[in-house]
Structure 1
Amino acid sequence: MNCLVVDDNIIARTTLKQLVKQDKDLLLAGECDNAMDAYRRIIEEPVDLLLLDIEMEGMTGIELVKSLGDRHPIIIFTTSKKEYAAEAFELNVADYITKPVTPARFLQAIEKAREILRSRRQELKVEDDSFLFIRDSNIVRRLKMEEILYAEAMGDYVKLYTTEKFYSVHSSLKEVEGKLPESKFQRVHRSFIVQVGKIDTIEGGTLIINRKMVPVADTYRAALNKRLRIL
């Protein structure tokens, strides 16, 4: 689960980063000291979880969540004030932690976030992981998972590449990711998801699938290496 830490207090950010690193299921995607930078980062490179302060200069944490709309990441608010709790939970956040954040309280909140993530993915996934249905022009077509080499975000569309051709579907990469089985696919860049079993080679920040080059972002490199069990 990729997470972004957003807090204008460097000590609070350091504490949260240390707690994130202690959980093997969490991957630190980065940190921001204000909500505006966090907004731009999330739009460019979506994350699963946001560890978010509320009272910050410029844009508050609550305003950030509202600006992201229904497709915001899972939110855990971490704040020194209790009075925002009612408003925060109206935004369907996972949890609301009052600082200082203790390890036990952090783990409790993360477990709630895991449950929400599992639920979201279950809602988006098809019942049979061997195929999915896509709308190709005016035709709804069944596409075998095994045929998909990788997916690439292109504006409001996602291209699904197979050995012989590609299909363009009107969707976000996040939505497509939710419909692809985690056992086979891995996000490697804000714009790319690959079928791990189709990777031929990896060199530096690039991997090769069917003679096509796909970039690997530093944010996802550790998770990919762990998945591949490189010797």
Structure 2
Amino acid sequence: MEPTLARRPLTCAIVDDEPLALNVLSEYCAQVPFLTLKAQFQEALAAVEFLQDNPVDIVFLDIHMPRLTGLQLAQLLPAPAPRIIFTTAHAEYAAESYELPALDYLLKPIRFERFVQAAHRARAALALVGAGATTEPAENLNEALFIRQDNRLRRVVVDLFYAEGQKEYLMLYTAAGKLLTLQSFRSLEELLPLGRFVRIHKSYLISLRHLEFVERSRVQVHGTSLPIGETYREAFLEHLHYHGRV
């Protein structure tokens, strides 16, 4: 019997003009049991030539490269195209990259737990395609996060309403209750899907899916009133406009 996409190893390639980034990503691939690295390239054109004859499941693709950018390369890949996970040190490319059918966006320096998060997202997406599913399963409607508890990373699937900063900890308010994790807002934001969560205050990050209404100085998220920080207001409203929420 053929193994399902959810169980069989997923093939991948890495395209990055920085040798250090190639080394880091290849080491990360080696540590994820269901990933099989088929090739890595510093030159985008060589990668295109390889991928046209050697299809893979996932391409970890740098955006800022000479001659041919990752955004341009992604548009040259033959159908059926692999799942694209963009990698870059330039956060300003995030919005443009999501205009393409990208699965995820990893900001350098890439943390291992964030890489694993993206790999699991790719496996879930490919399993859906293999099963002929047209809608996401319940797990994918929520967020699969890696949170620090008891000096280790624990993968949990949660429907996250909002996160509250408590000194060096974060309290996550979820459908399953409250979770306390030794984690920074920055590390949490790196683990969350781009565009679905936004920082509204130095102490709060919210889910747009559970945002009920916005007032001048407050929002309501899943029945809870939270303040909007003055320094976060403009970026928050721009975020809502960009993603069609207002």
TM-score, with structure 2 as normaliser: 0.49
Residue pairs, 1:184-203, within 5 angstroms: none
SS of aligned partner of 2:14: strand
Runs of 4 or more above 6 Å deviation: none
Residue pairs, 1:10-25, within 5 angstroms: 10-25=19-34
Amino acid at match of 2:112: P
2:123 to 91, 98, 114: 114
Cross-structure match for 1:41: 50
Say whether residues 1:32 and 2:46 are aligned partners. no
Structure 1 residue 96: Cα displacement: 0.3
Structure 1 residue 66: Cα displacement: 0.9
* Alpha-carbon distance in 2 for matches of 1:50, 1:24: 17
Unaligned runs of 5+ in 1: 125-231
* Alpha-carbon distance in 2 for matches of 1:119, 1:83: 30
SS of aligned partner of 1:67: coil
Say whether residues 1:102 and 2:111 are aligned partners. yes
Cross-structure match for 2:12: 3
Amino acid at match of 1:61: G
Say whether residues 1:65 and 2:74 are aligned partners. yes
SS of aligned partner of 1:28: strand
Unaligned runs of 5+ in 2: 1-9, 134-246
* Alpha-carbon distance in 2 for matches of 1:70, 1:28: 20
The worse-fitting range, judged by mean Cα deviation, of 14-23 and 104-113 is: 104-113
> 1:29 and 1:18, CA in 2 relative to 1: closer, same or farther beyond 3 A?
same
Structure 1 residue 69: Cα displacement: 5.5
Q: Is the 8 A contact 2:52 2:78 kept in 1?
A: no
* Alpha-carbon distance in 2 for matches of 1:5, 1:81: 18
Amino acid at match of 1:8: D
SS of aligned partner of 2:68: coil
> 1:117 and 1:17, CA in 2 relative to 1: closer, same or farther beyond 3 A?
same
